[in-house]
Structure 1
Amino acid sequence: EEFCEIFRAKEKTTGKLYTCKKFLKRDGRKVRKAAKNEIIILKMVKHPNILQLVDVYITRKEYFIFLELATGREVFDWILDQGYYSERDTSNVIRQVLEAVAYLHSLKIVHRNLKLENLVYYNRLKNSKIVISDFHLAKLENGLIKEPCGTPEYLAPEVVGRQRYGRPVDCWAIGVIMYILLSGNPPFYEEADEDDYENHDKNLFRKILAGDYEFDPPYWDDISQAAKELVTRLMEVEQDQRITAEEAISHEW
C-alpha cells in the first residue's frame, strides 16, 4: 500500500539533498497511524545500516519526514540486472542487514517488511554500504503481534498461519533475501494467473506453511554447504527454532 509520496528535497541554505516522505492527513486514519508510527520508530534508531531520520515537520494537513538521501540503487535492481550475487557479495549484504536487524531487535523493534526493494546502496561507490529503508510497518514488540502484514513472498509461516509472532519474522525474511541473492530465484514461487490472485496466494501460503522449498539444481550446485545451512536455519518453520540475527552474525558462513 502506498501511504505516502517520496521525493528529493533540497535544503536552501546548504544545498544538501534529502529524502522527503509526505503523508497527507486527509488520506485517513491508517495513513496518519503509519506516519506517526514511522516517526516514533525512526526517532529511536541510529545505526550505520539504517537510513537516518534528519527532521520531522508537521503541518495542519501533512506530515513531512526528512531522511538521509541514499543515492545508490536498490539491491532488487541489481539482481534484475545481474541475475544473482556471488557468495562473497551476498555475505557482505547479508552481514550488514543482520547487523541492522540485530540492533533493531535489541530495541524490541520488528521491521516486518524486509525485502530486496527495501535494501538500498547508500551511494554509487563500489564498496557502498547497504541501508534499510521504509519503516512504516515496523512495530515495537510489547507482547506478541497478531495482525498480518508484509509482502506475500517474504512472509514467515507464523504470519501466514495468523499466529502470534515477533522478531523471528525478520530472520525468516533475511533467509528469503539470502536465497534470492544466491540463486536469483525466490524460494517460494507460484505462477501467477492474471484472473486468479486469490488462489495464487493460497498456493504460495501453503508452500510457506510447509517450508516447502528446495535448493534447486543447477542454481545451487556450486554454493557452499555453509551458505545452505544458514538459509535453512533462517527459514526454520518453527519460530522458536529459528536462528536469531545475533546468532546468524557469528555463523561460520
Structure 2
Amino acid sequence: MPFGCLALRDGRTYDSISDVTDKYEFGQVLREFCELCLAKDRQTEKVFVCKKFFKKDGRKVRKAAKNEIMILKLVNHPNILQLIDTFETRKEYFIIQELATGGDVFDWILDQGNYTERDASNVIRQVLEAVAYLHSLNIVHRNLKLENLMYYTENNHKKVVLRDFYLSRFENGPITEPCGTPEYLAPEVVARHRYGRPVDCWAVGVITFILLSGNPPFYDETEEENTDLHNRIIFCRIVAGDFEFDSPYWDDISPAAKGLVCRLMEVDQMLRITAEDALQHEWIAGNGASEKNLKDGVCAQFEKNFAKAKWRQISDCPSEPARARSTHASPSASRSRPSQHSSTSTSATLPPLPTSPRPTLPTLPHLGIPPPSYPPPSPPTQTSPQAVREQEDKEGQRGTAPSSQFNARLQTIWNFGFII
C-alpha cells in the first residue's frame, strides 16, 4: 500500500490523494494552520468542514493530527462536532467533520436585541454537558475558549457545539506540559504542576466570566504590546486568582452566577467544582439566572476588549509555522473583527528578578520585568469574589487553600520557570 491509511468508520481505505478529491470537492480555504476549508460530498452534495494537516510542518503537527483523529473517533455527543471521514497521504492528514453554520457565540450575542443571564446559562450548560461527557471518557480538552463554541445551525441558535480537539488528550496519568490560550490557562498549568480534567472547568469559568461581563477575568492594565511581557503579567494574576467582580459590569449579575464563577475558578484544583457537579448548580439547573437584559453593557465590553487583539494562543502542540493561525474562521460569519490571537507560538526561558510592591499579587522572580503599576486594592465588597467565597465557606460549601500551599505553588514556578 503506497500510502499509510487511517481506519475509517465504514472500514474503507484510501490509497492516494485522488481518493480524497474524487469523493469531496474542496472550496475556499477558511483559515490556515491546519488548513481549513469547506468540502462538498460529490455524491450527496452535503457540505462539511475539512482540516488538512501538513506533515512537513513537524512532529508536533503530525502528533496533533493523529491525536485529534483518535479523540474524534471515540466521542459521540450532541454538543461536539462529529467526525465524518479521515484520510492520510504521504504529505497530509485530512479530517472531515460536520459543518456548524450558526456562527460563533461571540457574533450571536452581538446580533441579539436581548441578552440575559438565562442565555449565558444555556450556553454554559451545554458546554458543561460536553465537558462532563469528555471527562467521563478520561479526555481533557485543554483548549476550551469562547472562540471554540459555535451554534450548530443558523435557524436554531439553541444548540452549541465544541470544536478543535487537537490539544485534547487522555488523562492516563498526570499531565505536565503547558498548552492552551494564556487568558484561559488554569493556575496549575501556568505553575507547571501536574494537572488533569480540572483545567477544563477553570476554562469554563473564564468563559462564563466573559459571557456575563464582556471582560476577561485576567488582563494587563499596562497595555503592554510585547507578547511575552503581556502574557507574564496575565500569568501572575492567574496564579494569584486575582480577579474581581468590577462595578458597574457586575452590578446586575445574580449571586448565583458569581457563586458558580468562584467555584469554577478556584485556584486549588482539588477544591474546584467538577463539570458534573456544576451541572447541578442553581445557576444552571435551577432558577438562579436573572432575566435582566445585559446586552448593552456586555456588547460594549466585548467590542472594546476583543479589539485589543491581545488574546494570543500558545501551545505545546503545533509549532505553528508561517501558515499558523489559532482561530477558526466561521464559514457563515459576515462580521469582520480583529484577530484575537497572534499567528505564531512563542518560546522563552524566564530569568530571575525583583519583587512586586503589591502583596496580593504574587511576583514571579523568573519574569525579568519590573512589576506593573496597579491601583490600590479595594476592600472586599459584597460582590467581590472574596465576599462570595467567604459566604460559601460559612455555608460549608467549600474551603480555602492554606497560604502555605499557595506559596508552595509559587515556589514551583520560581524553581522551574514557565516556558511558553
TM-score exceeds 0.5: yes
1:47 counterpart = 2:80: no
SS in 1 for 2:270: helix
Equivalent AA in structure 1 for residue 136 of structure 2: S
SS in 2 for 1:239: coil
- 1:148 corresponds in structure 2 to 178
1:201 counterpart = 2:231: yes
Q: Which runs of 5+ in 1 are unaligned?
A: none
- Rounded to whole Å, the distance in 2 between the matches of 1:203 and 1:83 is 36
Equivalent AA in structure 2 for residue 106 of structure 1: S
Equivalent AA in structure 2 for residue 13 of structure 1: Q
Q: Check conservation: 1:83, 1:184, Cα contact below 8 A.
A: no
- 2:414 corresponds in structure 1 to none
Post-superposition shift, 1:77?
Answer: 2.8
What TM-score do the two structures reach when normalised by structure 1? 0.95
- 1:71 corresponds in structure 2 to 101
- Rounded to whole Å, the distance in 2 between the matches of 1:250 and 1:33 is 36
1:183 counterpart = 2:213: yes
Deviations, residues 14-71 of structure 1 (Å, cap 9, x unaligned)? 0000000001111111111110000001011000000000110111211110000001
Equivalent AA in structure 1 for residue 108 of structure 2: W
Q: Which runs of 5+ in 2 are unaligned?
A: 1-31, 284-420
- 2:150 corresponds in structure 1 to 120
Write out aligned runs for 1:76-155 (5 A): 76-79=106-109, 85-155=115-185
SS in 1 for 2:282: coil
1:220 counterpart = 2:286: no
Larger mean Cα displacement after TM superposition, 205-214 or 22-31: 22-31
Q: Give the 3 Å change call, closer, same or farther, for CA 223–122 of structure 1 in structure 2.
A: same
Post-superposition shift, 1:117?
Answer: 0.5
> Greater CA radius of gyration, 1 or 2?
2
Q: Give the 3 Å change call, closer, same or farther, for CA 110–95 of structure 1 in structure 2.
A: same
Of 258, 267, 278, which aligns to 1:248? 278
Post-superposition shift, 1:204?
Answer: 0.7
Deviations, residues 145-189 of structure 1 (Å, cap 9, x unaligned)? 000000000000000111010000000000000000011111101
- Rounded to whole Å, the distance in 1 between the matches of 2:153 and 2:253 is 29
- 2:341 corresponds in structure 1 to none
1:163 counterpart = 2:232: no
Equivalent AA in structure 2 for residue 225 of structure 1: P
Q: Check conservation: 1:18, 1:68, Cα contact below 8 A.
A: yes
Q: Give the 3 Å change call, closer, same or farther, for CA 173–85 of structure 1 in structure 2.
A: farther
- Rounded to whole Å, the distance in 2 between the matches of 1:13 and 1:124 is 24
Q: Give the 3 Å change call, closer, same or farther, for CA 139–198 of structure 1 in structure 2.
A: same
Q: Check conservation: 2:34, 2:51, Cα contact below 8 A.
A: yes
Post-superposition shift, 1:199?
Answer: 1.9
1:26 counterpart = 2:56: yes
Percent of aligned pairs sharing the same letter: 71
Q: Check conservation: 1:172, 1:235, Cα contact below 8 A.
A: yes
Say what the alpha-carbon RMSD is for the aligned residues: 1.5
- Rounded to whole Å, the distance in 1 between the matches of 2:64 and 2:181 is 16
Deviations, residues 103-122 of structure 1 (Å, cap 9, x unaligned)? 00000000000001100111
What TM-score do the two structures reach when normalised by structure 2? 0.58
Q: Check conservation: 1:85, 1:181, Cα contact below 8 A.
A: no
Q: Check conservation: 1:4, 1:22, Cα contact below 8 A.
A: yes
Post-superposition shift, 1:124?
Answer: 0.8
Post-superposition shift, 1:6?
Answer: 0.5
Post-superposition shift, 1:197?
Answer: 2.3
Q: Give the 3 Å change call, closer, same or farther, for CA 188–139 of structure 1 in structure 2.
A: same
Q: Check conservation: 2:102, 2:156, Cα contact below 8 A.
A: no
- Rounded to whole Å, the distance in 2 between the matches of 1:167 and 1:249 is 15
- Rounded to whole Å, the distance in 2 between the matches of 1:25 and 1:86 is 45
Q: Greater helix percent: which structure? A: 1
1:211 counterpart = 2:247: no
Q: Give the 3 Å change call, closer, same or farther, for CA 84–237 of structure 1 in structure 2.
A: farther
- Rounded to whole Å, the distance in 2 between the matches of 1:223 and 1:128 is 22
The aligned length equals: 251
Q: Give the 3 Å change call, closer, same or farther, for CA 150–228 of structure 1 in structure 2.
A: same
Equivalent AA in structure 1 for residue 130 of structure 2: A
- Which of structure 1's runs of 4+ aligned residues deviate more than 6 A? none
SS in 2 for 1:15: coil
